Amino acid sequence: MPLPIHKIPIDTLFLVIDFLGVFAGALGGALIAIRNKSYKYDVVGVAGLSLASALGGGITRDLILQEGPPLAFADPRYLMTALLGAIAGMLFAPHIGKSTERVIVWIDAAGLGLFAVAGSTRALNAGLGWLPALLLGGVTAVGGGCIRDVLSGRTPKIFERGELYAIAAGFGASMFLVFDHFRFARETSTIIGAASGFCLRILALRFHWKTWHVRSGE
C-alpha cells in the first residue's frame, strides 16, 4: 500500500523530484534535437544534447565549486536517469503529443525550482556568500539548457525575449536564501524556495508573461 504523501520523508520526495527533473530535461533535450529543422542529428547528437540539457547545469556548478567529482558522476543514478530520458525521447518522439508535453512542462517547472535551490544550497555549504549562491542556483537550473543551445549553434534562449525561465529560477533561489538568512529550518527554506520558482514558472506560462527586449532607439 503506497505511503500517503505527508508520510514520505522530505529528502525522498525531493530526490524523486530531482530525478524527474533530470529525466524531463533529457527528454526535452532529445525532443528539441529530433525536431530541429536546421540540423539532422544522429543518435550520438541527440544523446549528447539530452545529457547536456539534463546534467550540464549541475556539472558546471560542481566544477566551479571544485569539491570533488560532479554529483552527476559521483552518483550514477543521475547519468542513468538522463540516459533513460534520452532513449525515451528517441523512441517515442513521434508519439508525444500536446498532453504529454504539458506533463513534461510541469515536471520541468518543479525541477527548475528544486535545481535552483539545490545549487544555492551547495554553494552555501561550500562557504560562499549569498550572491555567489544566488548565481550558482541559477546556473544549476538553466545551465544545461544554455549548453544545449550553444552546442546546437544558437543563442541560449534565456538570453532572448521570452518566457520567465531564468527569472523564475533566480526567484526561487532568492526566496530560499532569504528564508535561510532568517534562520528558518533548511527544510522549510527549501520548500518555500522550490515552490516559489515552480509557481512563478507556471504562472508565467499560464498568463503568458514574457521578458522585454532591450534595444537602444526603441
Report the Cα 100 to chain-centroid distance in Å: 18
Asked, for residue 218, whether it belongs to a domain, the answer is: no
Asked, for residue 3, whether it belongs to a domain, the answer is: no
pLDDT per position as a tens digit, 155-199: 998 998 888 999 999 999 999 999 999 999 988 999 999 999 999
Q: Considering only residues 218 and 108, tell me which one the structure prediction assigns the higher pLDDT.
A: 108
Asked, for residue 103, whether it belongs to a domain, the answer is: yes
Asked, for residue 157, whether it belongs to a domain, the answer is: yes
Host domain of residue 30: 9-207
Asked, for residue 213, whether it belongs to a domain, the answer is: no
Helix, coil or strand: residue 163 = strand
**For 7-11, 75-79, 173-177, which range has the lowest pLDDT when averaged over its residues?**
7-11
pLDDT per position as a tens digit, 85-117: 999 999 988 888 888 888 888 989 998 999 999
Tally of CA atoms within 13 A in the half-sphere of 148 that contains its CB: 30
Quick check: 163 and 210 in contact, CB under 8 A? yes
Q: Tell me the pLDDT band of 7, cut-offs 50, 70 and 90.
A: low
Q: Tell me the pLDDT band of 1, cut-offs 50, 70 and 90.
A: very low
pLDDT per position as a tens digit, 11-63: 777 888 889 889 999 999 999 899 888 889 999 999 999 999 999 999 999 99
Cell 537602444 locates to 216
* Long-range CB contacts for residues 39-46, cutoff 8 Å, separation at least 24: 39/152, 39/153, 43/90, 46/86, 46/89, 46/90
Give the total number of structural domains in the chain: 1
* pLDDT, position 10: 67
* pLDDT, position 59: 96
Q: Is the pLDDT of residue 8 over 70?
A: no
Asked, for residue 162, whether it belongs to a domain, the answer is: yes
Asked, for residue 113, whether it belongs to a domain, the answer is: yes
Query: Residue ranges of the alpha helices (H) in 152-185?
Result: 166-181
Question: In this structure, what C-alpha cell is assigned to residue 83?
Answer: 540516459
**For 92-96, 148-152, 190-194, 205-209, which range has the lowest pLDDT when averaged over its residues?**
92-96
Asked, for residue 217, whether it belongs to a domain, the answer is: no
